[in-house]
Structure 1
Amino acid sequence: MKALYDLPAPAKLNLFLHITGRRDDGYHLLQSVFMLIDWCDTLHIERRDDGQLSREDLTTPLPADDLVLRAARALQAFARPGQGAHIGIAKHVPAQAGMGGGSSDAATCLLALNRLWGLNLPLARLEQMGLALGADVPFFLRGRNAWVEGIGEKITPIELAPGRFCVVKPPEGIDTRGIFAAPDLERQTPSAIIAGFAAKHRTNENDKFEFGHNDLQPVAQRLCPAVTQAIEWLGSQGLKGRMTGSGSAVFAAMPQETKLAVAPEGWSVRQCGNMDVHPLAGWASSDIS
């Protein structure tokens, strides 16, 4: 096998995000439901036999040393001498949006190179590598909608009803570190339980995706007024918006595909559906069926 083309890296939405505490090392403890959506980046990976790792930006220019190259280097430690790769990335998911685009790209890279280089590392080993790269990477490696706890490493698969969502990303991004460092960030939200989320999700047809809240949103709105503007734009069309992850993207569940008003210039607006499973689920041994 010399190449793998058209590899999807789907984004995610956080249906809610509660901060329930903080560890002694400064990492925040969270609870969230992560949901895969059909807004995807695409990777193309060709094997190199000179041991080099190279990257080609096919759409948006990326930082010189992004998560994909870091993921490839981490995995290359297990490869045979001379195994390298050329990685092309067609970036479509906005950066600094809270949608996990970079983490998803890294997960797709790990799954693909594990196969392309014939390493056959189990999913658990890839997850250890992924967590060192970013808290969202293990979720994308698992490839199923999930109840997520801890610092992102405690992942419990859950079933979600099909849904349609309007996702809005204003031009401004938000530095995640700035939000988590804010003194006014709520860090003591009481813990929820999966059963409580599941009961509401099953029985409330009109608001089955509206459990809880996002503790990061008030700080993000203070740091980035465009988040408030995007929520208000959704509200003007009868949609209940909230922020995903650490922003600045916001989203709202919608009953069906809807003709939306023209968004302000520079905003990315997309109507998305959720996904039951990542397209590459099963690419690593010991994947959960």
Structure 2
Amino acid sequence: MLDFPNAKINLGLYITEKRPDGFHNLQSCFYPVRWCDALEVVPAEKLQFGMTGLPVPGNPDSNLCLKAYNLLQQDYNLPPVHLHLHKVIPMGAGLGGGSSDASFTLRLLSQLFELNLPADTLESYARQLGSDCAFFVQNKPVIATERGDVFEQIDLNLSGYTCVVVYPGLHITTAEAYGSIKPQKATCDMPMLLKQDVEVWREVLKNDFEEALFPKYPELPQLKEKLYGSGAAYASMTGSGSAVYGIFKEAPAGLVFPAHYAVWQGLL
């Protein structure tokens, strides 16, 4: 079975408080985008995992796809499979690519072995793999709170808008990003604001990480201003960085970036 785990962007991101467990509570709107990896799962005589595409740092045995398989295997005694991941979504970009790979693994295994696991069960497994993994089970726009794993559905449809996502090759670790943050309450009523026209978001909808990271990495504010200069209705860094995206009413023309930047453009 073959599927295409997609990325997400954050429409606004507020770090509201530090939790007793060391994590942070947040508020954000998660919105799926069509920048995708490729993931294949087929039955095999022994468990195998292979990767192509972008190099993934770390031990392959600790990859989230394997962890997802092991979670379900423990509870459902799954037979071995061959997992193959072709990595396209950049890592350390705030796009949730690894989380998406994990959740799509759960979904594919449920289909392949006819487990017929409902969405809430899959989300429960996904939460054990990472804070935003559960989002990719249903893959619909949500207001995310707590660790990014408690969801409120939101009626938000940006279809017809073009999104340009630019990753400048800066791998910002989660520890570095959160180490610079001073938690505070959200400065806007996000559900109400997201009902307004996209152009209204510019002066109000914020990503808290920008204030901490833009002075350290001048490429990031430069990217944001370039997107606005090319006609973006709204532009922001996504997640804890370092990808920056712009949302356009019409597909922009003539946008050029350095050769080592990774760029995706497509309809939302």
TM-score over 0.5 for the pair: yes
| Deviation (angstroms), 1:261 | 3.0
SS in 2 for 1:199: coil
| Deviation (angstroms), 1:230 | 2.0
Give the counterpart of 2:75 among 75, 78, 84: 78
Unpaired stretches in structure 2, ≥5 consecutive residues: none
Q: Distance in 2 between matches of 1:124 and 1:135?
A: 15
- Name the amino acid aligned to 1:169: Y
Mapping of residues 213-232 of structure 1, within 5 Å:
213-232=206-225
| Deviation (angstroms), 1:211 | 5.2
Give the counterpart of 1:12 among 5, 8, 13: 8
SS in 2 for 1:74: helix
SS in 1 for 2:37: strand
Q: Report if the CA contact (8 A) 1:55-1:87 is conserved.
A: yes
Q: Report if the CA contact (8 A) 2:231-2:252 is conserved.
A: no
Give the counterpart of 1:105 among 78, 84, 101: 101
Q: Distance in 2 between matches of 1:178 and 1:205?
A: 30
Partner of 2:149: 153
| Deviation (angstroms), 1:61 | 2.5
Q: Report if the CA contact (8 A) 2:144-2:151 is conserved.
A: yes
Partner of 2:119: 123
Partner of 2:166: 168
Partner of 2:27: 31
| Deviation (angstroms), 1:164 | 1.4
Q: Distance in 2 between matches of 1:156 and 1:273?
A: 24
Structure 1 residues 191 and 222, CA gap change in structure 2 (3 angstroms)? closer
The answer to which of 58-67 and 101-110 deviates more is 58-67
| Deviation (angstroms), 1:260 | 2.7
Give the counterpart of 2:110 among 105, 109, 114: 114
Q: Deviations over 1:95-138 (max 9, x none)?
A: 11101011001110010012212333332222122112111111
Q: Report if the CA contact (8 A) 2:143-2:191 is conserved.
A: no
Partner of 2:262: 268
| Deviation (angstroms), 1:266 | 0.4
Give the counterpart of 2:248 among 227, 251, 254: 254
SS in 2 for 1:137: coil
| Deviation (angstroms), 1:175 | 0.4
Q: Report if the CA contact (8 A) 1:78-1:119 is conserved.
A: no
Structure 1 residues 220 and 195, CA gap change in structure 2 (3 angstroms)? closer
Q: Deviations over 1:137-164 (max 9, x none)?
A: 1111122111111111211122223221
Q: Distance in 1 between matches of 2:16 and 2:104?
A: 30
| Deviation (angstroms), 1:194 | 5.2
SS in 2 for 1:94: coil
Structure 1 residues 151 and 191, CA gap change in structure 2 (3 angstroms)? farther
Q: Distance in 1 between matches of 2:200 and 2:103?
A: 31
Q: Distance in 2 between matches of 1:208 and 1:227?
A: 19
TM-score for both structures, normalised by structure 1? 0.83
Aligned-residue sequence identity (percent) comes to 31
Structure 1 residues 132 and 67, CA gap change in structure 2 (3 angstroms)? same
Alignment size in residue pairs: 262
Q: Report if the CA contact (8 A) 1:174-1:224 is conserved.
A: no
TM-score for both structures, normalised by structure 2? 0.89
Structure 1 residues 86 and 260, CA gap change in structure 2 (3 angstroms)? same
- In the alignment, structure 1 residue 95 sits paired with structure 2 residue 88: no
Q: Report if the CA contact (8 A) 2:230-2:252 is conserved.
A: no
Structure 1 residues 209 and 191, CA gap change in structure 2 (3 angstroms)? closer
